[in-house]
Structure 1
């Protein structure tokens, strides 16, 4: 499998405690997922973790979600609208300095960007039962790979976007891209030693903007997958004033489904158009 790269300017879960919920049928939906690693950088043991998962495209419903983690025994998933869910992990504890892997798999109507937003730790009440303010747990981030398209003669392109969905600038570091014909069994099995691309960084992404990347292959990788790993650092308002640095490690999975077969006439037309495009490029 031949791989070439182009960079552009800013523009089944692992064995963990898991909870799944569906909002109707997921038959025929696009299924993907990711792992977010967060560290409790507060001075107290965290008793809860809260975050939001949202599909970017309105009208593209989030029809199901499965959330796993290794620290909290209870998961509550609340649907806010057809593309947004809020998640609370509790019935557990995470000591200061300890990290947690959150594995998320989702089913949506079609391939689209999914955002991980507003992660916050909560802590035991203070003396006298006064609530302890929540603490930001990590940056809001989103990623997506577009479906493959023929971009030159015998060359397929796969477009990546990494979004900053926070209110402060973010830095992306230690970016890795791994394309494979055979998807890994789970996130623990991903072997970055086979990564075709690595970029130490840093890459700055401003709020509401995306960094884009194009991977070129000599086949569309149908039935395979592309894995994206990166560290993201940002900042957020701290309890009591000031700001706090937030950080997380992201692993995103992008399965590449087999295309739906076209009728014979449509297939012939597509082939003719592809040939015209190739001839134009060569001329």
Structure 2
């Protein structure tokens, strides 16, 4: 036996063919991969590749959502504005209604006061007329000779002419504002009668009731002007013609008529002649 028979060889043991082949294959694959990668890298370096991301659906959806959001915002703003306008209109209407109500109350109060004043004056006038009637009645009872002695048959001169004129107009119609000769109202008849004797009287009853000297109803003479109401604010006039009678343009239903003093007792009289 050789003295080296038990000494291990310093050479590595041989690998099996299969392992070598496997490693060769792996190495070859790696080299191939590196080669492909290198080629791709070279191509990449030679010509840059541009990649485009197309997102048509996502972009359209986002645009729609943005538009819808804008529409909603605009609609909300319009609604707020409309509501503000309605609130302002309601406030203005409420303010106007309050002012109208206050004005209506003010007018109603004024009308009420006017009606009360009219009623008060009417009552005072009725009381005055009633008092004058009582006085006239008492005077007529106490001195019946007055009316007898002042009959139209005893009127002379201007008084007779005035009495004659008014009696000649009896039967003609009463028309408010008329001044003769086919129609009269109360004051125009008196004015026309005194014009016959050259006396110019005012046109209206109020002024005619103060045109002469005030006389008592118990001392009447033909040609005296009778008035109804108070002196200076009379609402009717006529001419005393004697015998307790007067002639006046009374109203549309009676026209110019001759009536007794008892028909509608006057409240006063003035003497112009």
Same fold, judged at TM 0.5 (above): no
- The TM-score with structure 2 as length reference comes to 0.17
TM-score, with length taken from structure 1: 0.16
| Greater fraction of residues in helix | 2
Larger RCO, structures 1/2 (Cα 8 Å, 6+ apart) = 1
Higher Rg: 2
